[in-house]
């Protein structure tokens, strides 16, 4: 039985070869943006398709509103994060899988930020402040408010 090859080229799909990919990725790690653009350009169509599909799904769930986020914005944020986090990419993980996973995490972060913003905006600053709770006696207050366990 022969061992299965799990090199970068076999995981990331059709590419020019393991040696060329590893040298291009090494140049990316050294700060070569052109090498990074060449490597990710093969995956851009799939990133855009996944972004459109995931955004439609989040809109259908109600987590995002229509027009909150476009596929171009999501892919742009993903590529910025990929450039920033390029040194943390696991070596055994292919570039395609890493980019798609990164895009999902970026989308979830944006969804959480939008939900927080909606909650904050839903509270009006001009609305009347809620009344303090009414306690019939001091005992009811101190059952809730216990600053110390020992009376001083």
Quick: pLDDT tens for 120-129.
777 677 878 7
Residue 136 belongs to a domain: no
Residue 84 belongs to a domain: yes
Tell me the CA distances in angstroms from 86 to 17, 61, 102, 147, one per residue in order: 20, 31, 11, 49
CATH, residue 72: 1.10.1740.10
Domain count for the chain, please give it.
Answer: 1
Q: Following DSSP, what letter does each residue of 57-124 receive, concatenated? A: HHHHHTSS-TTS--HHHHHHHHHHHHHHTGGGS-TTS-HHHHHHHHHHHHHHHHHHHHHHHHHHHTS-
Residue 3 belongs to a domain: no
Q: 94: domain range?
A: 8-122
Residue 139 belongs to a domain: no
Residue 37 belongs to a domain: yes
How many Å from the N-terminal Cα to the C-terminal Cα in the chain? 77
pLDDT in tens, 55-97: 999 999 999 988 889 999 999 999 999 999 989 988 888 889 9
- Residue 130 CA to residue 41 CA, distance in Å, equals 55
Q: What is the rounded average pLDDT of the residues 110-118?
A: 90
Residue 31 has pLDDT above 50, yes or no: yes
Residue 144 belongs to a domain: no
Residue 145 belongs to a domain: no
The whole-model pTM stands at: 0.66
Residue 118 belongs to a domain: yes
């Amino acid at each position: 039985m022969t061992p299965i090859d799990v090199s970068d080229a076999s995981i990331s799909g059709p590419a020019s070869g393991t040696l060329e990919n590893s040298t291009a990725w090494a140049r990316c790690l050294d700060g070569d943006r052109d090498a990074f653009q060449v490597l990710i350009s093969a995956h851009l169509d799939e990133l855009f398709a996944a972004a459109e599909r995931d955004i439609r799904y989040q809109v259908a769930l109600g987590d995002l509103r229509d027009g909150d986020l476009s596929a171009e914005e999501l892919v742009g944020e993903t590529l910025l994060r990929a450039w920033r986090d390029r040194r943390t990419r696991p070596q055994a993980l292919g570039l395609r899988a890493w980019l798609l996973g990164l895009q999902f995490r970026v989308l979830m972060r944006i969804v959480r930020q939008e939900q927080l913003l909606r909650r904050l905006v839903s509270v009006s600053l001009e609305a009347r402040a809620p009344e303090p709770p009414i306690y019939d006696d001091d005992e009811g207050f101190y059952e809730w408010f216990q600053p110390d366990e020992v009376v001083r």
